[in-house]
Amino acid sequence: MSGSGSSSNISEISNFQDNTIFSNKIIIESSDNQKYRKDNEKYHISCWLVMLVICIYSLSSSMFFPITKSLIYQKVCIQQGYAELECRDNNDLSSNYVIQTETNNIFMVVGIVFSMIAIFSSICIGKLSDDVSRKYALMVPFVGLIFSDLILISMANKMEKRNQHLFAVSEIIFSLFGGYMTIFASAFSYISQATCHNLKRRSQFISYLEGAIGLGSTFGYLVGSFFGAYEYSDAYLVILLMHFLCMVLLILAKDMTPEPDDFNKTSVLNETLVERIQDRFTGWKGIFWNEDGKYNFSLLYTTLAFFLSFLALMGSNRILFFFLKNKFYWDAREFSKFKLPMQSVATFFAIFIYPLLKRTDVKDSTLALIGLIARGFGRLLIAVAWDDTVIFFLVLLEAFNKFGPSGMRAMMAQTVYTTELGRVFSLISVVEAVGNLFSVFLFHSLYNYTISFMPELSFIIMAIICIPAVFFLILAEGAIQKLVQRRLERQKLMKPKLIVKVEKDTQID
């Protein structure tokens, strides 16, 4: 009796402990779920604040570029001995060879210096983002922007002075604080970590962030289309106020301490700055070789297509304003009116049409091919446009502007394993940096050389560049299909070995 009673008591105690452990598990799991839910709710408003900041910044950028190009052109014109009103109203001066070439040289030099500095400063601020704070890393570039805006206001208030060097100083300051690359990268990092416990919400918020960029750019060109009703200094003052507003919104956003991402196994949190720089420029080399030791031609072809496509895009962005000013006598106002419908349609297609086509199982290569062909014909249309109304047909072709890069990024991701995606993004950043530098030097120099006899040549070359990109894309699609098939066959070969091993172990038992 006493023995059975003691064993009964032990059993009851054991059952009680098991139930306690089970209930503790439920409590722990429940508390974890609550933690995740609280984290999502904690940063929900902050995510919207970050998206609003990016929207405002995109608005200011779309105002900044055409107005600044117009300002530098006006200052160079005045220094050639012409009156300010004459520089603004005389169409003949819009195609003046000396003014065009000198202005282009200024933007070429500034563009090269900005790109080189920003590459390294963005890596440093990226480490700040990963080691200290996502929020502060996003605030740093806006500090640089505010200093830059003050310098630009000073330059715009003294039109008659030869102070174009202040534009270079303002751009160097912004690049030292990370440049535009850091703003977008930090914003995506903040959104990604804030939604790291909910993949569905992460996908939604990233698409919202991309939409905010497009929406802000659209409103920026809308404001720019009224240029003339306000002066250069007024525009820079408004831009300065917008950047101050961005700082205030970021101060209101919750700070975020970096932590490992559950869905990202390629974390670089433990890297030193030197290791990070080295990884940025060389860490992607290994992904050009497959696990069986064969060269990854599918990634090579896609990378080459991406580089050529990006080169054509950036080349157009660099010189389009000056080309249209030379050919149709446009200034910031007309250029903004031209870009407004183009940006609106491109944003609509990127947010709604592209995902819709993806849901209908249209291949990434097909979407990329559509975008690439549209880009090539778009550059050709710019070159042959004989009237300023004809050029507006470019809106139809630029609707597919995001198809090319989005489709090619997805194709590049298909060529590697999930654990190597971080290296793919590192490769893309290097390709974009090199393409940006190359486009600045190549197309500003080429446009200056050909402006007196054939200014359209730069855009014809951009269209020609898209032809080999199309062939590389077709080759990449075939190589990707072979790579996927080879990996599937390897998986099938591995399965029988596992089955035999299990059966053998069972017989021994």
For the chain, what is the mean pLDDT? Answer: 84
pTM for this model (two decimals): 0.84
Residue 491 has pLDDT above 80, yes or no: no
Distance of alpha carbon 183 from alpha carbon 139, whole angstroms: 8
* pLDDT above 90: residue 261: no
pLDDT of residue 7: 45
**What three-state secondary structure class fits 416?**
coil
394 Cβ neighbours under 8 A, 6+ residues apart: 342, 378, 381, 382
pLDDT for the residue 96: 92
pLDDT per position as a tens digit, 354-365? 889 988 888 999
User: Helix %, strand %, coil % for the chain, to 5?
Assistant: 85, 0, 15
pLDDT tops 60 at residue 71: yes
Q: What are the tens digits of pLDDT across the range 314-341?
A: 999 999 999 999 999 999 999 999 999 9
- Structure tokens belonging to residue 371: 């975008």
Average pLDDT over residues 176-185: 90
At 259 the pLDDT is 60
Q: DSSP string spanning 334-352?
A: HHHHHHHHHHHHHHHIIII
Reduced to 3 states (helix: H, G, I; strand: E, B; else coil), residue 507 is helix
Length of the chain, in residues: 509
pLDDT in tens, 143-163: 999 999 999 999 999 888 888
pLDDT at residue number 506: 47
- From CA 188, how far away is CA 205, in angstroms rounded? 9
In order of start, what are the domains of the chain with their CATH numbers?
A: 44-254+267-282 (1.20.1250.20), 284-509 (1.20.1250.20)
The yes-or-no verdict on residue 504 having pLDDT over 70 is: no
Q: Which pLDDT band, with edges at 50, 70 and 90, does 85 fall under?
A: confident
* Structure token pair of residue 383: 């070159």
> pLDDT-derived band of residue 3, with 50, 70 and 90 as boundaries?
very low
Q: Is the pLDDT of residue 275 over 70?
A: yes
Q: How far apart are CA 69 and CA 62, in angstroms?
A: 12
DSSP string of 27-43? HHHHHHHHHHHHHHHHH
Q: Which of 95, 68, 137 is closest to 452 using CA atoms?
A: 95
Token pair 């282009």 is at which residue? 104
Least confident of 80-84, 262-266, 311-315, 391-395: 262-266
Contact (CB, 8 A) for 474 and 363: no
Other CB atoms within a 10 A radius of the CB of residue 141 amount to 30
